[in-house]
Amino acid sequence: MLEELETLLAQATTEIAQLTLEADVEAARVKYLGKKGSLSALLRGMGKLAAEDRPKAGEAMNRVKVGIEAALDSAKAAAGQKALAAELKREPVDVTLPGLPRARGHRHPVSQAMDDIIEIFARLGFATADGPELEWDLYNFEMLAIPPDHPARDMQDTFYIDMSTAPAPPPGSPPTRGAQSALLLRTHTSPVQIRTMLAQKPPVRIIAPGKVYRCDSDVTHTPMFHQVECLHVEAGLSMAHLRGTLDSFVKGFFGPGTKTRLRPSYFPFTEPSAEVDISHPACAGKGCRLCKNTGWLEVLGAGMVNPDVLRMAGYDPEVVSGYAFGVGIDRLALLRHGIDDLRALFENDVRFLQQL
Ligand code: PHE
């Protein structure tokens, strides 16, 4: 047995030393060390040895294995070196040639719009606030004065989370009572109004950009889209402050010639409420096909914060008042670039995005 092992080692190292191709070295590895290789065959014979001879044989077996492995490794390294040298000879590298330029990307048009909006509001003294995309019914609806049976819920087809498999709410979560404890993908950024007011005392001056979700899909709707919420609460605020802020915002975003117009509307969490139109930047308010010849485009919802909402968030509506609005960022990005299909923004076709 010991002799056989020595012979195997000698034979293997001589043979391996002559190999020049990496593939051949790998084949030799299988031949000698593989499951069905020479060494395994000898190993199987070990059972027939007398018990006192086994340790010695085992030791020799190990030595042979290590020896063959070392031979294989050095043959492999040599073969690799040789292959590289051959490659370099075939295709010499001219290190003085200019490098291949790598195409530079840019931010997505929605991110560009979002960053611009954050910057415009920063100049107006607004901080940026944040909230989770998976939101409590309590914050997305109830504390915005939209109780479970309120018809306004129908305007926002909602993705609810199956609570039967959801983990228990973490400590410090809002009260779990009926629908309030349900989780959903937030349908607007307005719950950040509630989160902010619960977390700090007035005055509040924030914007909250982020993703929102509705069960909607056509040329002007995608199931995921982006909004920016604006909330300003302080003593003595009126509709005039709302108009002033809106005006600075749209002028900052679309240019100084842009006008705003308010039309009466309804949102449960604002009172009074308004739809806000801007003069169509593409036709400078003159009227064209895109704005249905009106010269105006509806871009956002706004209003004075409903006193009930202030009260639910722990603010005193006798002392402070507030205004709020919510803008669809994707719409703004489309308008800015003259795109007419919202879905194109999220198909991530680089040929499309490169143009923006
Ligand atoms: N959250 C409303 C929506 O998504 C917009 C809005 C925000 C309206 C703030 C008024 C005040 O439709």
Q: Which pLDDT tens digits describe the chain residue by residue (356 residues)? A: 788 888 888 888 888 888 888 888 888 888 888 888 888 888 888 878 888 888 888 888 888 899 899 988 988 998 889 888 888 888 777 888 888 888 788 889 999 999 999 999 999 999 999 999 999 999 999 999 998 888 888 777 788 887 777 666 666 666 554 555 688 999 999 999 999 999 999 999 999 999 999 988 877 788 999 999 999 999 999 999 999 999 999 999 999 999 999 999 999 999 999 999 999 888 888 988 878 889 998 899 999 999 999 999 999 999 999 999 999 999 899 888 888 788 888 888 888 888 87
Same domain, 277 and 309: yes
- CA 325 – CA 249 distance, rounded (Å): 11
Is residue 296 within 8 A of residue 284, CB to CB? The reply is: no
- Retrieve residue 333's tokens: 């990005």
For residue 146, the model assigns a pLDDT of 93
Same domain, 126 and 77: no
* Minimum CA distance residue for ligand 1 atom 12: 301
Residue 21 CB coordination number (10 Å):
12
For residue 272, the model assigns a pLDDT of 97
Spatial neighbors of 160 by CB under 8 A, at least 6 apart, are 182, 183, 184
Is residue 245 within 8 A of residue 230, CB to CB? The reply is: yes
Same domain, 227 and 285: yes
Same domain, 241 and 323: yes
For residue 166, the model assigns a pLDDT of 66
Would you say residue 23 lies in a domain?
yes
Biggest CA–CA distance in the chain, Å, is 104
Interval between CA 265 and ligand 1 midpoint (Å): 11
Q: Which atom of ligand 1 is nearest to the CA of 212?
A: 4
Domain count, the chain: 2
Candidate from 135, 267, 276 with most ligand 1 atoms within 8 A of CB, to mutate: 267
Same domain, 311 and 241: yes
Candidate from 190, 224, 237 with most ligand 1 atoms within 8 A of CB, to mutate: 190
Is residue 352 within 8 A of residue 106, CB to CB? The reply is: no
Q: Tell me which residue range forms the domain holding 70.
A: 2-90
The number of angstroms, rounded, from the C-alpha of 25 to the middle of its chain's C-alpha atoms is 46
Same domain, 231 and 342: yes
Q: Which atom of ligand 1 is nearest to the CA of 189?
A: 1
Same domain, 229 and 121: yes
Between CA 263 and CA 175, with CA 323 as vertex, the angle to 5 degrees is 120
For residue 128, the model assigns a pLDDT of 97
Is the model's pTM score more than 0.75? no
Same domain, 30 and 121: no
Interval between CA 2 and ligand 1 midpoint (Å): 86
Same domain, 345 and 209: yes
Same domain, 268 and 310: yes
For residue 175, the model assigns a pLDDT of 56
- CA 313 – CA 197 distance, rounded (Å): 6
- Domain end, chosen from 61, 90, 119, is at 90
Same domain, 116 and 58: no
DSSP states along 166-224: SPPPPTTPPP--GGGG-EEE-SSSTHHHHHHHHHSPSPEEEEEEEEEE-S--BTTB-SE
CATH of residue 216: 3.30.930.10
Is residue 225 within 6 Å of ligand 1 at its C-beta?
A: no
Would you say residue 178 lies in a domain?
no
